[in-house]
Structure 1
Amino acid sequence: MNRPSAPNAPDAPALPRLALFDLDHTLLPIDSDYEWGEFTQRIGWTDPVEFGQRNAEFYAHYQAGTLDVHDYVRFATEALCQRGPEAAAAAQAQFLREVVEPAIRPQALALVRQHQAAGDTVLVITATNEFVTRPIAQKLGVQELLAVELERDAAGWFTGAIRGVPSMREGKVLRMEQWLAARGLAWSTVHSTFYSDSMNDLPLLERVNAPVATNPDARLRTLATQRGWRILDLFPQG
């Protein structure tokens, strides 16, 4: 005897959707942290020979996954801390105008807008410090930014130290968990997509529902291929 059919269960409510983006070499075809260092040389804030050599060394460590982010941030913000807020604001605007804006690609903007139009919450999560990246995120039309936060002194100016957990490697997962918890959310209550180019971001790529290897470096491209992750070549590298 056939059993009566069970009534259709009501559709479960859709989970909130998050679209997470790394910044450098993912949404931008440049490394904004490195380019800020190069920019400080051009405007006379740093010595081109000494600073340029150390900046290149730090960048090589980042690519190799061996960067001490605390040492790097102290180095990268030293001139900024010394110049003070007024000079820093002027340099920040000039950097955005001369270096960042020409590097913004329409296909990157279109991808961000696609997620926003779908109702997704879009975040930029980057290992570059907040001073460099907040204007960039705003230029991209993204309000939610998780970047390396900078400690401030009693007068409200940067000290060169990092405040809290740096958003780098495993730190990106921790910072996202803090962001989720502050909103009463958890990984299990959202659907998350993360776009990144770098093996440095492997911990977060492995944590989200939908990892997207975006303009991936050689190691990440190989891994993404092995794991069947989506690969997106948003723009040519190099």
Structure 2
Amino acid sequence: MSEPVWVFDLEGTLTTGETWKGVARWLEKRGYGAAYRRFFNLHLPGALLAKAGLINKRNYQNRWMRDLARLFAGFSCGLVEEMSRWVVENELWPARREEVLAELQAGLAGGARVILASGTYEPVLLSFAERLGEGVAALGTPLVCRDGRASGELGGPVNVAGVKAERLRDYLQAAHERAYGDTYPDRFMLELAAEAVAVHPDRRLRELAAARGWRILE
């Protein structure tokens, strides 16, 4: 009999921390603060429009992820890994949701195969996965490294919503037993699971979970 597969989103699900905030702090710490501030000031108007609902929030978040990655252009791949570990240690791990991590660890102890599936940059997601134990897999938004250097490009679309669900299908070639997510775009991943868990869900996911009889964890 094959092992059960449990899938977890990262931001909002396993942690209340946010990768972009950790990246901003690391860039400041490493002397790239001026470049980040230029990026932030250029993108702030769009962020405010997205928050107000005047433009598509998900599309703008994806643009933010793509454009922020351009600040890494020329970094060695080792420096990207250093940044990723720092973001986990100083932003994501301190803000972890212990109650969700307890379920994840129980799954590992019970023989489940655990996969983290998130829109965050894949090196950051891999660093978080390493904190959880051996064998935890990570499907995030890939960053391109060529000849030992980051190009500043993404290696594919931002790994959210339908993209995340499609990558999971391709990766697993099978349905997963349980999935955890916190926002309405996670519904695509949750709908693929035999058991869906909505973690501190946003309004639309809460309504969907109630209609589908999904468990709500908060």
2:59 corresponds to 1:66: yes
Q: Distance in 1 between matches of 2:10 and 2:184?
A: 14
Q: 1:221 to 1:207 in 2, by over 3 A?
A: same
Amino acid at match of 1:52: F
Deviation at 1:56, TM superposition (A): 8.3
- Conserved? CA contact 1:20–1:123, under 8 Å: yes
- Conserved? CA contact 2:6–2:107, under 8 Å: yes
2:35 corresponds to 1:50: no
CA offset digits 1:114-158 (Å, max 9, x no partner)? 1111111111000111122211111122621111112232x1322
| Structure 2 match to 1:36 | 23
CA offset digits 1:18-51 (Å, max 9, x no partner)? 1100000100012224432344245432335433
2:178 to 180, 189, 193: 193
| Structure 2 match to 1:176 | 168
- Conserved? CA contact 1:165–1:174, under 8 Å: no
2:149 corresponds to 1:157: yes
CA offset digits 1:158-189 (Å, max 9, x no partner)? 222222454211111111111123xxxx22xx
Q: How many residues align?
A: 211
2:217 corresponds to 1:225: no
2:129 to 118, 133, 137: 137
CA offset digits 1:61-118 (Å, max 9, x no partner)? 599333363x434322222223334544443343333223322343333111111111
1:114 to 82, 94, 106: 106
Q: Distance in 1 between matches of 2:77 and 2:3?
A: 38
- Conserved? CA contact 2:15–2:93, under 8 Å: no
Amino acid at match of 1:228: G
- Conserved? CA contact 1:40–1:46, under 8 Å: yes
Q: Distance in 2 between matches of 1:55 and 1:210?
A: 38
Uncovered stretches (5+) of structure 1, i.e. residues with no partner: 1-13, 234-238
1:205 to 171, 176, 190: 190
Percent identity, please.
Answer: 25
Q: Which moved more, 1:99-108 or 1:220-229?
A: 99-108
Q: 1:79 to 1:162 in 2, by over 3 A?
A: closer
| Structure 2 match to 1:16 | 3
| Structure 2 match to 1:127 | 119
| Structure 2 match to 1:92 | 84
When normalised by structure 2's length, the TM-score is 0.82
Q: Distance in 2 between matches of 1:64 and 1:224?
A: 22
Q: Distance in 2 between matches of 1:122 and 1:145?
A: 9
Q: Distance in 1 between matches of 2:49 and 2:14?
A: 20
When normalised by structure 1's length, the TM-score is 0.76
1:104 to 79, 96, 102: 96
The SS at the match of 2:13 is: coil
Deviation at 1:206, TM superposition (A): 1.8
Uncovered stretches (5+) of structure 2, i.e. residues with no partner: none
- Conserved? CA contact 1:21–1:195, under 8 Å: yes
